[in-house]
Structures are given as C-alpha cells and as structure tokens.
Amino acid sequence: MLDSRLPLALDGGGLEWPESGTIAVFAPSVDADLAGIPKDRAEIIQDHFPANAAWAERGFRVNVLSEGRYGAAVVCLPRSKLEARAMIAKACALSDGVVVIDGQKTDGIESILKAMKARVTVHGPVTKTHGKLFWIDPPAADCFADWEAGPALTEGGFWTAPGVFSADGVDLASALLADALPQKMGKQVCDLGAGWGFLSAHVLTREGVEAVHLVEAGHLALECAKRNVTDKRAQFHWADGTDWEPEHKMDTIVMNPPFHVGRAAEPQIGQAFVASAARLLAPQGHLWMVANRHLPYEAELKTRFAQVEEIGGDARFKLFHASRPLRKRR
C-alpha cells in the first residue's frame, strides 16, 4: 500500500517533495495514513462523498474537483484503467512538480508503468506489499492529454464516464428492475444510489410522480445523471445513501445498491441501504430493489419491513418488493 511504499521512496529512495506548494493526493483509500506527506500541505482530491467526509473529519483539506496549480501530486490508482489514465493526465496537467503513481498489481500498476515508460523518464519503482510506486519529473502539461476522459455519450444515448458504475452501458440488473416497476409509484420517489440516472429516467415515465430524488455518493456519476435526467421534477443530491436526510418521507424508493468498495463483496453496504430505505419511507411506503442473487438481503428486509416478497429475477439477479417499513427492530 501507499503507506508502506511512499516512506521508502522518501527515505533514501530518491523521491523529494518541492520546498513549497500544495501536494494533491488523488483518491487515496480512506484507511491510508499518508505517511510522508505533510498534512498542512496535502489536499485530498476525492469524488466519493463518504470518503470525502471521512478525510475532512481527519482534518485534511478536501476538494471534489482539482483546481489551480499544485507543487506535486500523488495518484492512487483506481480499479478502472480508463479512470486511472484520466487521473494521471489531470495530475500531470496541474502539477508543477513531481507526480507520484502508486498502485497494487491487481489495479494494473504494471501496465500503467509500462505505458508511462514509453513516454517519459520514470524514477523507481519501489516494490512492496504486492504493488509498486514510481514517480516522474514535471512533464509537459499535454504529455498525457490523450489519456484525459470525462462524461461521454454511450451508444445507448446515455452520458457516463470512466470509473462510474456501469460506464459502458445499461446495467443488466437495473434494466431488470426498471421493467418490473409499477405504473403508479406515488408522488415522492427516491432513487437511492442513483448512479448516472437510468432508473430515475424510468420512474419519471410513471403516472403521478411529482419529484424524483437522485441520491448518489459519486460526484462524477451525479454530473452524468444531470445530463441524462433533464426533467424539472428531478432533484439531485450528492450524499451517502446510508445517512441522507430529506425534508419529508418518500412514497417509494427504488435501488440497485452497491455491494463493494474494493474487489471483495461487502453485503453490509447493501444491508445499510435497506435500513436507510426503511427509515426514509412513509408508513405505507414501498421499496423496489434488485440485487445479485448470492447476496444475503432477505433477513435485513424482513427485519425492516412488515411485508417482503421476491417478485422475480433471473439466474444472476433477484427482485424484491417490500412495504410498510418498521420503525423499530423486532
């Protein structure tokens, strides 16, 4: 991890920070301690709302979108290759000093290292804990301009972006849920974990809907949603779906909840979304949900709702309809 490799690079490995200037740290994991980066000079560039809030609580400056110039930059590789390249391009364009790249083998650090060596001089790498860290001197601002990527139209006519869930097109589970939604869904509807807005676009075709609240933790995903869902009834909330607080209760919630932060499945995230849905709904409210078939959500649904039924699905996904949220756990 960055915590183990960066100190080695700074302590006799040849890496040095410039004497002044802010050090931009792109998308570090929330459990990183950033050993070797002066806290008073660090600025966390983080798109994800819960991670952004966690870094702020630890006393770091945080920014959703990198702005201005930086004295140096550190890029923590994400899982998406296109997102990683776009992040590196941005760091190189905005940094007046050294740009550090760190990542695990499972995140594609080897291919990134090879691609960057073909263009610029690379220092290092420092290899430890199944990953590598290397750095480059300040490159020309446009050296990696062809790696830049932002929101773009897919063949299906939706705006998505690298790193956003289901960036290549419509998610099959969401499509399954969209087909199962009833014609009447009430006046106030929430799309919890809305992504780039596919389910919300379908909800807005239903009779009697007065407002759809798109709640999404990813800032870039929400920016894509604003391009995809242009109906004036749509309201956009950059927030954590597990603790968002609306002004009033919802009649209906639809969701295809996330279930991982890293590579391993973490069903407790989806379970937290189920608990949040029960909290957000009116006494006679309804939840419509899709999930991977292997994930254990049935017990949490039955704990949080008086009525729960599986309404279909296929070999990979299961659909649920739950109603009458319980205010107290059984």
Domain ranges of the chain: 2-147, 152-325
Please give the mean pLDDT across all residues of the chain: 93
Enter the CATH code of domain 152-325.
Answer: 3.40.50.150
Under the banding of pLDDT at 50, 70 and 90, the label for residue 288 is very high
Measure Cα distances from 119 to 7, 132, 142, 281, 302 in Å. Answer: 26, 18, 12, 54, 56
Measure Cα distances from 284 to 204, 207, 287, 328 in Å. Answer: 21, 18, 10, 15
> At 330, which amino acid appears?
R
pLDDT of 261 reads 55
Average pLDDT over residues 281-297: 95
How is 93-122 classified by DSSP, letter by letter? HHBSS-EEEEEEGGGTHHHHHHHHHTTS-E
Residue of higher predicted confidence among 265 and 167: 167
Which residues sit opposite 281 in a β-bridge?
250
Residue with tokens 């957000």: 280
Q: Would you say the CATH fold of 152-325 matches that of 2-147?
A: yes
Cβ–Cβ < 8 Å for 196, 219:
no
pLDDT of 330 reads 44
Any residues with CB less than 8 A from the CB of 57 and at least 6 apart, and which?
none
Which residues sit opposite 190 in a β-bridge?
213, 253
pLDDT per residue as tens digits for the range 75-128: 999 989 999 999 999 999 999 999 999 999 999 999 999 999 999 999 999 999
pLDDT per residue as tens digits for the range 173-219: 999 999 999 999 999 999 999 999 999 999 999 999 999 999 999 99
SS3 (DSSP) at 298: helix
Percent of the chain exceeding pLDDT 90 equals 82
Q: Could you give the CA distance from residue 283 to residue 269 in angstroms, rounded to a whole number?
A: 24
Q: Which CATH number fits domain 2-147: 3.40.50.150, 3.40.190.80, 3.10.450.350, 3.40.50.2000?
A: 3.40.50.150
Cβ–Cβ < 8 Å for 41, 165:
no
Average pLDDT over residues 272-276: 97
> At 232, which amino acid appears?
K
Q: Could you give the CA distance from residue 286 to residue 265 in angstroms, rounded to a whole number?
A: 26
pLDDT of 138 reads 85
Cβ–Cβ < 8 Å for 228, 159:
yes
Under the banding of pLDDT at 50, 70 and 90, the label for residue 139 is confident
Q: What's the pTM?
A: 0.90
